[in-house]
Structure 1
């Protein structure tokens, strides 16, 4: 082999080795320069790789910039919320029947037959007044009636010997004596103070020996087999509350207990000062756990009105009013809304929203009409990107 052929072969092997080093070793261009390889050869070998790397790097950087310009957001679906579906009011309970017992005559109390807490029946004697005079008056009436009856009978037997006027007067006298006896018996009966209703005896404020009149309070009776609760509802429920509508009541005296009942009556007018309507509910008290005068928290449920419910963070404001950002097919759009009711965890709104619509709650600062959005996995990720 001639010398120039050997030299050419050696040069080709050298170039091939340098190319292999450049392909397999990162930063090979610097190593070749330090080894004394001419710059022209190094540039020729590494030119294509640098161009490819530069092109690839530009594409990645451009993609990253484009991704950073698309807002990263967190969304939450619209759900249906109900307003005016329940009512809670404070009311005062009263026995279904309460009677203050007073004597029907004046006198001195001779006997008291009841004590506080006793359950009594209608017509039962509760106390008695002194009745000596009334007993005597009844005896006199009985004697007068007996005399008048005998005289009347005698005159009827001897009609031929007496005038018809005398017979008539005798009969009238007999009827008058009967009425006098009835009056005496009634006066004697009224010396007994009786229960006008079935009920439970309250505290007895009188004692034996007290002189009483027809205005003296002897005792109060409560029929608390059922409790009536009066409460007031806002004017907007005036056409919603109906008789026999179910109610639930709770009492401070019995925490955790719920008592069921129904609307007994609804007032016929709204109070002009408070703009409220009076309602009366009847609650069963067969177990006798409730007392008249207790305060009750009365609850009622209604069908209510349905509106879209969104997260409070979603509601934004501008010069035209409130709005939310809805995302459809990865693009955002502004939806105008009006506030119906604010709750701690949701806002009920009126607007062109449907159940299940995705509403942006994080990343709102960079939202634009018709702009693309990216979905974050959670709120923390969105906030981290936003603050960068």
Structure 2
């Protein structure tokens, strides 16, 4: 999947980290006292459940990871004070700049991944990788654009099918990645799917059968502006949203139950800001329009999907806006199917399967909209790690990419099969 140059660079950078870390620590500018007083910090909060994690998010803080009831929380000093006043026990309190220093051990050229992360693909490298797939497999792969980002970048998409230039009457499956900018491992997940189902077509009968009987759509970077901005300086910025004004959380901007249930923020400075209105972000509008366009002859052709995120190692299904299992838009039979397939996928990758709201309540997310609007068997995967206790969970080193993306091969295969049921 990676060129020899990229592999060599990653190995060399990894070998140099021991030397770089103390040097970098000695020359990095320390934040001013005033900045340190105002900057968010990362805390751990023990003994949480879905209800308490939802309450944490409603203060404006953000739960960024959960393991065994221990939540990792990003909060400003004011938000941390409100949480403590509400009875939450906050441990730690590592400033974001300090937390990012753990992963920013050296600086790359502007727009490149920092040392130790060269195995990740930038926006331009992702486009080049997709172009190479098409050049190598023009009979089964075609590249297009879902639409434009806020800053005018194309949102690239790959179609994989045995008759790639024809709209066949076959079940379609959508894999999308990197709605949240700092979750770069997800881009690698989508690139693995694209590579596996093209490079393996000629030699693997199981892959050939899937490609011959499905139409597969892969969108590696839904949020190209935010993803590019996160590494713009040559160091990670910890950026989550798009680049529209103060930024919109794309996965709170979808139109179903937008802003309904305390599962997103109306504060433009919040990490989970839902935008000024449903569909106010051009990236969500573009992806919505594509999914809507797959209604052919009154029937939605996309039958199943996975929206990849990091981190916490979870397999999630609708709904996120309510903790009820059976509710408007969800029968017991439908819920049972979600749970059954989700459980089967989780057995293959070791993730925890649960309803989305079991993590915390969200509204305006892609998962709920895809099911409510189109009855797409839609899942969200929260990828590796299970928990890091901090910001570094968003930035696992490049040497885990192959293992942690391959870890989902069997789950992807299960969903592709289920799409024909």
The question of a shared fold, defined as TM-score above 0.5 by the shorter chain, is answered with: no
Higher strand share: 1
TM category, shorter? under 0.3
By relative contact order (CA 8 Å, sep 6+), the higher-ranking structure is: 1
Higher helix share: 2
TM-score, normalised to structure 2's length? Answer: 0.16
**Between Structure 1 and Structure 2, whose CA radius of gyration is higher?**
1
